[in-house]
Amino acid sequence: MSQSVTIEHLISTSKRRDTSYMNIILFGAPGAGKGTQAVELVKNYHLTHISTGEMFRNAIANQTAMGKVANSYITKGELVPDEVTVGLVKERLAQEDCKNGFILDGFPRTLHQARCLDKLCLELNIQLDFVIDIEVPMNALMERLSGRRVCKVCGASYHILFNQPKVAGECDICHGPLYTRKDDNKESVAVRLNTYQEQTKPLIEYYKNKGILLEINGQQEINDVFQDIVNKIGVNL
Ligand code: AP5
Ligand code: MG
Ligand code: ZN
């Protein structure tokens, strides 16, 4: 178990495990495998998956007012302004399906968002159990993102080399068509990786100090990464 997690936190989390739910943040650079691992965690622990990136992409597809705002930022690889993102998460976490445990994927990404989330957790009486930091060296991320294909319907991630769908161009889960994300081009990826280094990475220290950070080696086979997560959170499947 990583020493970043305190004994007190483990005791309080294991008490809540009796009611068998967890609240998790999946943390990591663009392409680290947050979405990929979220699918497995949802399947095994029946948690609600909240991906802010996915919510923005749906809003863009539905041409909502928020989607129009988010589109210009996302295409360039920049972060959507905090006030928009925090408002979205606030609304989402208050919904019924989050009461049995959730995975936050891609939120928070700035110190301000992390502080807003703390406030929100107090208001909604939520405890964060683990922040799972999936660590992948910067030089491997470009290859992952350039070969990624995403399901248009459910958002599941595939890779032309590392994680091929059973049927080419089709999602294993829902049979939806696969496409290349607009922000998976070289220019946007460079901005996203840079933004991660400058604005998001400092949150590792923030959650280490809170004693809830788990560090996972993300540069292994997808199933091995998942096993590592399962072993470290110590919750039986
Ligand atoms: P978002 O959708 O969250 O994108 P991201 O953080 O850039 O992360 P990705 O989805 O690109 O990567 P991932 O870690 O999920 O990797 P995946 O599992 O797909 O956000 C998009 C945009 O929305 C942001 O840029 C921003 O503009 C906006 N936004 C979102 N949240 C925001 C917030 N909080 N504040 C402000 N703006 C926000 O895997 C990647 C590839 O690698 C896949 O092809 C996969 O098959 C492959 N792969 C996965 N694991 C492995 C492995 N172990 N080995 C080999 N290949 C692997
Ligand atoms: Mg993702
Ligand atoms: Zn799908």
Cβ contact 232:216 at 8 Å: yes
Quick check: is 34 catalytic?
yes
Confidence at 182, pLDDT banded by 50, 70, 90? very high
Contact 37, 225 (CB under 8 A): yes
Q: What pLDDT digit, counting tens, does each position of 69-88 carry?
A: 999 999 999 999 999 999 99
Tokens 């999936």 locate to 134
Each residue of 92-105: pLDDT tens digit?
999 999 999 999 99
Question: β-pairing, 48-51 with 102-105?
Answer: parallel
What is the arithmetic mean of pLDDT over 51-66? Answer: 96
Rounded average pLDDT over 210-220: 97
Q: Compute the mean pLDDT over every residue in the chain, rounded to the nearest whole number.
A: 92
Q: Is 148 in the pocket of ligand 1 (CB under 6 A)?
A: yes
Give per-residue pLDDT as tens, 116-168: 999 999 999 999 999 999 999 999 999 999 999 999 999 999 999 999 999 99
Q: Is 166 helix (H, G, I), strand (E, B) or coil?
A: coil
Catalytic residue among 57, 144, 149, 192: 192
Q: In the chain, what percentage of residues exceed pLDDT 90?
A: 87
Residue 156 CB–ligand 1 contact under 6 Å: no
Identified catalytic residue from 57, 144, 148, 149: 148
User: 60 with 71: CB under 8 angstroms?
Assistant: yes
Distance CA 62, CA 220 (A): 36
Helix or strand holding residue 61 (H, E): helix 52-61
Give the rounded percent of residues in the chain with a pLDDT score beyond 70: 93
DSSP annotation of 95 reads S
CA distance 100 to 97: 6
Strand partners, 170: 177
State how far the Cα of 59 lies from the Cα of 38, in Å rounded to an integer. Answer: 20
191 CB near ligand 1 (under 6 Å): no
